[in-house]
Amino acid sequence: MQDREWFKSAVVYQVYPRSFADSDGDGIGDLGGILAHLDHFEALGVDVVWLSPIYRSPQADNGYDISDYQDVDPLFGTLEQLDELIAGLHERGIKLVMDLVVNHTSDEHPWFVESRTSKDSPKRDWYVWRDGKDGAEPNNWGSFFSGSAWQRDEATDQYYLHLFDRKQPDLNWENEEVREAVHAMMRWWLDRGVDGFRMDVINFISKEQSFADAPPVAGQPYVNAFSMFADGPRIHEFLAEMHEQVFAGRDGAFLTVGEMPGVTTDEAIRYTDPERAEVDMVFQFEHVSIDQGPASKWDWIGVDRVALKRSLHRWQVALAERGWNSLYWDNHDQPRAVSRFGDDDPAYWAASAKALATILHCMRGTPYVYQGEELGMTNYPFRDASEHRDVEAVNHWKRVLAEGLDQQAALTGMAKVGRDNARTPVQWDAGPTAGFTTGEPWLPVNPNRSWLNAAAQVGVEGSVFEHHRALIRLRHEHEVIADGDFTAVMENDPDVWAYVRTLGAKRLLVVANCGRSPRELELGDGWAGTRLLLSNEPDRAERLGSGRLTLAGWESRVYLAE
Ligand code: ISL
């Protein structure tokens, strides 16, 4: 494998700092907390840590609203601590990737403060300002966080665009000075020692410049205007330019991952084709939209496992020759994987968390582990709207009340797919605050901390954590996992998830039973005698006797033929 493809055998761990570990007792996680747990990353064996935003921010969207790209918010600590983190990770052979949030800034960023002062401000054109139309917003684009994507500003009687919260105005990437400022900021971080960027909604930065209405939807004043800003006219130009201005000619093994809602396989290939030099890999959203009905993200319809499987497999096949994908079940925007795709009943919780991990980590692509996923953390038992802190859920609930929508359906949606499910504190031990803080946690700790926590798992044979550690080691050791071809097996079976990876004479078989009842499988003589690399269960035979095997409920196994 060429060195520039080091990330094919790498595993990334995402830290959402607010919820990881608190060192000063204010109930909010911080850099001191991360520094106190460096041994956790080392024990797991990950290659990269991706740190969600720690920059100065009014925290309207937990740091995804940045008011100074080149400083650490006092809530999280200091720049010196960030330097310590870079050094501490590097000493352990782990890279640090920062979150790059440049589709928008905070409305409190000095650029926007200046931009809004007058129509002839030198920074006016750094954001997207338009006149209203017939006394209303310039067009029908909706914000991801409810309502219009436009906010009227008193000072100049114009509207600014915000695809997310009104405190997150969109930058105008058509303006060359904006692009140069972003590139300079990125170079500043690389000079400081960071190893790359996870680029927030980066496929939204090139907007359709007509700013025309998106196709209307009956009964909705504001619509999801994806076609007007996702994968827009100049997006590939902007990303190629960014690569050229920031990374080209720099020594080192960097990582760039573009978070790209709505990206198609064809576009993903374009974004990640090494010859085009745009980004190394994408985060695509198809599989995490599978339980979403037509109305909105809150329209929860449950998971169709065959559809889920087909979706992930389709991406495996589409990017086989060119391009590279990220593999993830959850992150800070998604519900917990084991509750959504597995079975969080205590009887099946551990096995299903392990089976999901096996399925994901043995695919082609770079796996991401979201903090707590390595422990099998579950969704929070939300009962009430007031328990949600996330701006997305809070705005949604306001809309439900204002428009008289179905409250019960909204509460179900918020409990099932609300982002705070992933944002409850990491469960380090069984104590009252799960070892997260000595104070009052900003979001309640999941009550299952008493039995589901790191202290009960790290170094404990058979734990969900140790299963993740073993999978990460397998990727490091076996090139067939990093780079083999992918072939689906039994794709239409709703319970058995199976596939084969092939590289030269090596064949890797991954089988998982995604149901509670045992399942007998007939694999064929070709698999007889092959070596067991990993199982959910401790007592499985080292070699497969015949081509036939029985999997317990939610059991997964990995076999190698060589
Ligand atoms: O969370 C989502 C599902 O409801 C997505 O729409 C999400 O907003 C989208 O994935 C973009 O996410 C990123 O940008 C947002 C921020 O709130 C998310 O936390 C971030 O990951 C705006 O910066």
CATH number (domain holding residue 491): 2.60.40.1180
Compute, in angstroms, the gap from residue 122 CA to the centroid of ligand 1. Answer: 30
* Shared-domain flag, residues 398 and 458: yes
- In this structure, are residues 229 and 202 in contact, taking their beta carbons and an 8 Å threshold? no
Domain tally, the chain = 3
Compute the CA torsion angle 320, 323, 326, 329 (nearest 10 deg).
Answer: -50
359-397 tens-digit pLDDT: 999 999 999 999 999 999 999 999 999 999 999 999 999
47, 99, 259, 373: which is the annotated catalytic residue?
A: 259
Tell whether ligand 1 has an atom less than 6 A from the beta carbon of residue 300: no
* Shared-domain flag, residues 74 and 146: no
The three-point CA angle 539-545-546 to 5° equals 135
Whether residue 334 lies inside any domain: the answer is: yes
As for the ipTM of the complex, it is 0.96
Compute, in angstroms, the gap from residue 63 CA to the centroid of ligand 1. Answer: 12
Whether residue 207 lies inside any domain: the answer is: no
Whether residue 197 lies inside any domain: the answer is: no
* Shared-domain flag, residues 92 and 22: yes
Please indicate whether residue 73 is annotated as part of the active site.
no
- Is 490 a residue whose pLDDT tops 60? yes
Tell whether ligand 1 has an atom less than 6 A from the beta carbon of residue 283: no
Whether residue 473 lies inside any domain: the answer is: no
Q: Take atom 5 of ligand 1 and give the residue whose Cα is closest.
A: 333
Mutate to test the pocket of ligand 1, among 97, 143, 201, 423 (most ligand atoms within 8 A of CB): 201
Domain residues for the domain of 133 are 110-161
Compute, in angstroms, the gap from residue 410 CA to the centroid of ligand 1. Answer: 19
186-218 tens-digit pLDDT: 999 999 999 999 999 999 999 999 999 999 999
Compute, in angstroms, the gap from residue 560 CA to the centroid of ligand 1. Answer: 38
271-282 tens-digit pLDDT: 999 999 999 999
Whether residue 12 lies inside any domain: the answer is: yes
In the beta sheet, which residues pair with residue 500? 487, 509
200, 291, 390, 392: which is the annotated catalytic residue?
A: 200
- Is 1 a residue whose pLDDT tops 70? no
Summarize the confidence of residues 525-532 as an average pLDDT: 94
- Is 2 a residue whose pLDDT tops 60? no
* Shared-domain flag, residues 154 and 79: no
* Shared-domain flag, residues 119 and 76: no
Mutate to test the pocket of ligand 1, among 197, 291, 333, 340 (most ligand atoms within 8 A of CB): 333
**Ligand 1 atom closest to Cα of 103?**
23
* Shared-domain flag, residues 325 and 459: yes
Whether residue 231 lies inside any domain: the answer is: no
> 120: domain CATH number?
3.90.400.10
Rounded Cα gap, residues 7 and 324, in angstroms = 10
Looking at 404, 436, 464, the residue that finishes a domain is 464
Summarize the confidence of residues 43-51 as an average pLDDT: 98
Tell whether ligand 1 has an atom less than 6 A from the beta carbon of residue 200: yes
Summarize the confidence of residues 339-353 as an average pLDDT: 98
> 430: domain CATH number?
3.20.20.80
Rounded Cα gap, residues 238 and 196, in angstroms = 17
Tell whether ligand 1 has an atom less than 6 A from the beta carbon of residue 292: no
Looking at 429, 464, 499, the residue that finishes a domain is 464
Compute, in angstroms, the gap from residue 259 CA to the centroid of ligand 1. Answer: 9
Compute, in angstroms, the gap from residue 106 CA to the centroid of ligand 1. Answer: 15
Phi/psi for 369 (5° steps) reads: -110, 120
- Is 4 a residue whose pLDDT tops 70? no
* Shared-domain flag, residues 433 and 335: yes
Tell whether ligand 1 has an atom less than 6 A from the beta carbon of residue 298: no
The three-point CA angle 86-87-92 to 5° equals 100
* Shared-domain flag, residues 346 and 456: yes
Q: What is the DSSP string of 201-240?
A: TGGGSS--TT-PPPPPBTTBSSB--HHHHTT-TTHHHHHH
Diameter over CA atoms, the chain: 78
Q: Take atom 1 of ligand 1 and give the residue whose Cα is closest.
A: 333
Angle between helices 305-318 and 265-272 (to 10 degrees): 40
**Ligand 1 atom closest to Cα of 165?**
22
Compute, in angstroms, the gap from residue 495 CA to the centroid of ligand 1. Answer: 31
Distances (CA, A) of 484 to 9, 136, 280, 387, 481: 11, 55, 18, 45, 6
Compute, in angstroms, the gap from residue 102 CA to the centroid of ligand 1. Answer: 13
Q: What is the DSSP string of 442-482?
A: SSPPPGGGGTSSGGGTTT-TT-HHHHHHHHHHHHHH-HHHH
Averaged confidence pLDDT in the chain:
97
Residue 272: DSSP 8-state: H
Phi/psi for 339 (5° steps) reads: -80, -30
* Shared-domain flag, residues 85 and 121: no
154-189 tens-digit pLDDT: 999 999 999 999 999 999 999 999 999 999 999 999
Please indicate whether residue 344 is annotated as part of the active site.
no
- Is 148 a residue whose pLDDT tops 80? yes
Tell whether ligand 1 has an atom less than 6 A from the beta carbon of residue 261: yes
Predicted local confidence at residue 525, as pLDDT: 87
Whether residue 545 lies inside any domain: the answer is: yes
Tell whether ligand 1 has an atom less than 6 A from the beta carbon of residue 144: yes
**Ligand 1 atom closest to Cα of 332?**
19
* Shared-domain flag, residues 416 and 538: no
* Shared-domain flag, residues 296 and 314: yes
Whether residue 170 lies inside any domain: the answer is: no
- In this structure, are residues 89 and 49 in contact, taking their beta carbons and an 8 Å threshold? yes
* Shared-domain flag, residues 88 and 122: no
Q: How confident is the model at residue 295 (pLDDT cuts 50, 70, 90)?
A: confident
Q: Take atom 2 of ligand 1 and give the residue whose Cα is closest.
A: 333
Mutate to test the pocket of ligand 1, among 57, 67, 144 (most ligand atoms within 8 A of CB): 144
Looking at 161, 182, 197, the residue that finishes a domain is 161
